[in-house]
Copies of this chain bind each other. A is one copy, B any other.
Amino acid sequence: MDTSNTASETICSDKVEGTAVYDNNGEKLGSIESLMIDKRSGQVRHAVLEFGGFLGLGTDRYPVPWSMLKYDTNRDGYVVPIDNSRLADAPRYPLTEESPFTTDAGYGQRVNNFYGY
């Protein structure tokens, strides 16, 4: 018997991208712009967040470990346990630049280290 249940456990990438991201206090931080995927395994490693200039954070992209995101059905969005003071020092890159993921071998690991993952 097939006991797998993929229906409630999978989500389409086009439902993830553009989805709102909130902090622990319920403040909207921004949204998910894209996902960084391990080519061989197909494992999503990071979500790339955009803040759309909110709170003076500009249009930089903020990658966070995928496992840091928790989906909140009430808010219909993701919650990340970070606040604005932490974001001030967080790894980021300008929208206009090439993603460091493609040019810097240790970038993903450093993102994980920053957030303690």
Residues of B within 8 A of A6 (CB): 36, 38, 45, 101, 105-109
Chain A interface size band reads 35 or more
Chain B CB count within 10 A is highest, among A10, A12, A67, A101, for A10
Q: Is A13 among interface residues, defined by CB-CB distance under 8 A?
A: yes
* Contact residue among B8, B38, B71, B99 (Cβ-Cβ distance under 8 Å from A9): B38
Quick one: copies of this chain in the complex?
2
Complex interface residues of chain A between 36 and 71 (CB less than 8 A to chain B) = 36-46, 48, 66-67, 71
Asked if A11 lies at the interface with its beta carbon under 8 angstroms from chain B, I say: yes
Contact B48–A12 (Cβ < 8 Å): yes
A16 within 8 A of partner (CB)? yes
A25 sits at the interface (CB 8 A): no
User: Are the CB atoms of A44 and B43 closer together than 8 Å?
Assistant: yes
Tell which of A4, A43, A48, A66 has the most Cβ of chain B within 10 Å: A43
Asked if residues A105 and B35 are in contact (CB atoms below 8 Å), the reply is no
Tell whether, in the assembled complex, residue A38 and residue B66 are in contact, meaning their CB atoms are under 8 Å apart: no
For A44, give its contact among B9, B14, B37 (CB under 8 Å).
Answer: B37
Residues of B contacting A13 with CB < 8 Å? 13, 17, 34-37
